[in-house]
Amino acid sequence: MNSPARKALVSCKSGPATDFIVIGCGIAGLRAAIELARYGHVVMVTKGSPLESSSMYAQGGVAVALNEEDDVHLHFSDTMKAGHQLGQEQAAKVLVEDGPERIQELVSWGTQFDTVDGKFAFTKEGAHSRSRIIRARGDATGDEIVRVLLSQARQHPTITWLDHHFSIDLLMTDGRCSGVLVFDEATGDYLTLSSTAVVLATGGAGQIYSRTSNPASATGDGMGMAYRAGATLVDLEFVQFHPTSLFLPSSPPFLLSETMRGEGGLLRNRKGDLFMKQYHPAAELAPRDIVARAIWSEMAATRSRHMYLDVTHLGSTFIRNRFPTIYTTCLRFDIDITEEWIPVSPSAHYMMGGIQTNIGGATGIPGLFAAGEVACNGVHGANRLASNSLLEGLVFGVRAAQSAMDTKTARTLPHPTNDLPLWTTGIISRTTEDVEKIRSSLRRLMWGKIGLVRTGESLVSALAQLHRWERTMRGPFHNRAGYEVKNMIQVGRCITEAALWRENSLGAHFRADFPDKKGRGWKTHSQLQQIPEQHSSDQQTGKVG
């Protein structure tokens, strides 16, 4: 199959030069763009439609210390504890302290959070010591926040929208990020966009797993791009598996919010027995990593492909009002959750690791910033506290924008090139069928070998296959799918390397061959970096403490 390595050239048009480029239309990207629009011109780039982000699907809510019985210190200590003390204290502090202001701002912009007697309606979730989760329309919190942020952003004349444009690679000039190469999904044209700063807010990579709560767009594009440009990826071994997503042969693994357990939902095995007390004193409200692995163990012990979530005792009216999206979605799959137990099993949900940033969203590359799930400022440690992610997008979206503004004086460097060498490539193109076959095999490989439970053996064999795929998936592809799968393979390979390197079991990362939690050096973070401009065969990875 291998053809001689040669430079692949694609014909590019020069797009407009702008002050700022924001890539990704979820909560972090929108919030960053709104901030940046006050200071300059912003081009908002997104693959597909702006309504395809993971944020849109967030059900449970936003954790924020606004309840009278709560305070930011408690929220901080719950965040650190859930993260197994691996998180960065400074980042967690910023999250909980900036959080209340970000929420009040959303309210002032018209976000309708659910209330009781004129006050926020608070719920509890796993590992929270207080009721501090606020929500909108029962279980449509992400949708409501995105609605408001999109409408705010659309009012800014300084924001230009570039939907259905896939960002392929970051452009680098003299060691700084100077723009992005994009692919127009409608015309197949390539376009270079120049800017003084780029904010990556492309979300996570759940799609690399065959069972995931994430939408089809979560293919690790930002992590792939940043890695190829020389940024450091950190803590990638920590992939959060949500304990409860719908398990039906006929349905995708639709998320069943943790707030269902927060409101009293129970987990039962195939005999109908409650089992969570055997795993943790907080039972159904134990930290997410513990509940997910308990379900996994119980599935193995009872030779079942799923467990059950039982909310029937909560009452039909309450369930339909409190969880309208979940109720109607399950009904569409012939499950009436007011009367039946729901078959559930874990699914890949959230990446704690990502592009290394400081608390201002700055990456190690001048001109490049990152916020939201794509970034890792250390706030989540080894396991994210439930409902901290929407808050993170808001808080660090603003912070990344504020840091990006400081670069505005830097000169925008245009990229007038017509033919842009993309990659040294072995195989110029693959058929769509090839690409989809690899996508599906990759997702099964990641689920089977780098899932909730890993071993050195499973990781080594997966790594060999990932390297093989990586060598043959270089492009150019002339369609979005090829570029996505290339990113998925690269991020999958990086997760596998990080998981192989971490020889202990902490938070979301569990090694059956190294079950101890805290061996020597457990606080060291995995770091992966590729030497810039080596987009071809010589991947360099380094891990330092």
Tell the smallest beta-carbon distance from residue 143 to ligand SIN (Å).
Answer: 12
Q: Judged by CB under 6 A, which of 192, 259, 363, 526 binds ligand SIN?
A: 259
Q: Does 70 bind ligand SIN (CB under 6 A)?
A: no
**Choice between 133 and 473, CB closer to ligand SIN:** 133
User: What does DSSP assign to residue 125?
Assistant: -
Output the six-digit token pair for 272.
Answer: 């109908």
CB of 463 to ligand SIN, least distance (A): 28
Stretch that binds ligand SIN, among 220-228, 251-259, 412-420, 487-495 (CB under 6 A): 251-259
Strand-pairing partners, residue 356, are 376
Single residue of 79, 123, 202, 387 touching ligand SIN by CB under 6 A: 387
Q: Where are the alpha helices (DSSP H) in 406-540?
A: 432-449, 456-472, 480-501
Tokens 């690679």 — which residue? 169
Q: Does 329 bind ligand SIN (CB under 6 A)?
A: no
Instruction: Pick between residue 257 and residue 383 the one whose CB is nearest to ligand SIN.
Output: 257
Stretch that binds ligand SIN, among 57-65, 150-158, 199-207, 457-465 (CB under 6 A): 57-65
Other CB atoms within 10 Å distance of the CB of residue 250: 7
User: 534 vs 51, 52, 530, CA distance in Å?
Assistant: 34, 32, 7
Q: Which of 46, 53, 54, 59 forms a contact with ligand SIN (CB under 6 A)?
A: 59
The reply on whether position 53 binds ligand SIN by CB under 6 A is no
Query: If binding is defined by CB under 6 A, does position 179 make contact with ligand SIN?
Result: no
Binding of residue 78 to ligand SIN (CB under 6 A): no
CA separation for the pair 397, 35 (Å, rounded): 8
Tokens of 75: 């929220």
Q: Which residue, 95 or 485, has its beta carbon nearer to ligand SIN?
A: 95
Residue in 529, 156, 219 with CA at minimum distance from that of residue 365: 529
Establish whether 430 is a catalytic residue.
no
Q: Give CA–CA dist 205/320, Å, rounded.
A: 31
Judged by CB under 6 A, which stretch of 177-185, 252-260, 422-430, 475-483 contacts ligand SIN?
A: 252-260
Question: Of the listed pieces 110-118, 257-265, 305-313, 447-455, which binds ligand SIN according to CB under 6 A?
Answer: 257-265
The catalytic position among 211, 228, 288, 430 is: 288
Q: How far is it, in rounded angstroms, from Cα 382 to Cα 511? A: 14
Cβ proximity to ligand SIN, 82 vs 233, nearer residue: 82
Task: Give CA–CA dist 125/128, Å, rounded.
Answer: 6
Question: Using the rule CB under 6 A, which residue among 114, 258, 284, 497 binds ligand SIN?
Answer: 258
- Count of alpha carbons within 13 Å of 118, Cβ hemisphere only? 0
Q: Which residue is nearest to ligand SIN (CB)?
A: 60
> From residue 347 to residue 376, what is the string marking binding to ligand SIN with x (rule CB under 6 A)?
---x--------------------------
Interaction between residue 60 and ligand SIN (CB under 6 A)? yes
Residue 517 carries which side chain, given as an amino acid letter? K
Residue 397 engages ligand SIN in binding (rule: CB under 6 A): no
Within residues 427-446, the interface with ligand SIN by CB under 6 A covers none
Closest to ligand SIN by CB, 193 or 326: 326
- Does the footprint of ligand SIN cover residue 386 (CB under 6 A)? yes
Residue 175 CB, shortest distance to ligand SIN, in Å, is 36
Smallest separation, CB 540 to ligand SIN (Å): 34
Q: β-pairing, 119-120 with 115-116?
A: antiparallel
Nearer to ligand SIN, 212 or 257 (CB): 257
In sequence order, the 6+-apart residues with CB closer than 8 A to the CB of 3 are 426, 427, 428
Distances (CA, A) of 380 to 62, 375, 385, 396, 504: 15, 11, 7, 13, 18
Q: Which long-range contacts (CB under 8 A, 24 or more apart) does 535-538 make?
A: 535/228, 535/422, 535/423, 535/424, 535/474, 536/5, 536/423, 536/424, 536/425, 536/474, 537/5, 537/424, 537/471
Closer CB to ligand SIN, 88 or 387, in the complex: 387
Among 192, 389, 496, 526, binds ligand SIN (CB under 6 A): 389
- One-character DSSP codes across 252-297: ---B--THHHHTT-EEE-TTS-B-GGGT-TTGGGS-HHHHHHHHHH
CB of 189 to ligand SIN, least distance (A): 37
147 three-class SS: helix
Q: Annotated active-site positions, please?
A: 288
Residue numbers at the binding site for ligand SIN (CB under 6 A) = 58-60, 257-259, 350, 386-387, 389
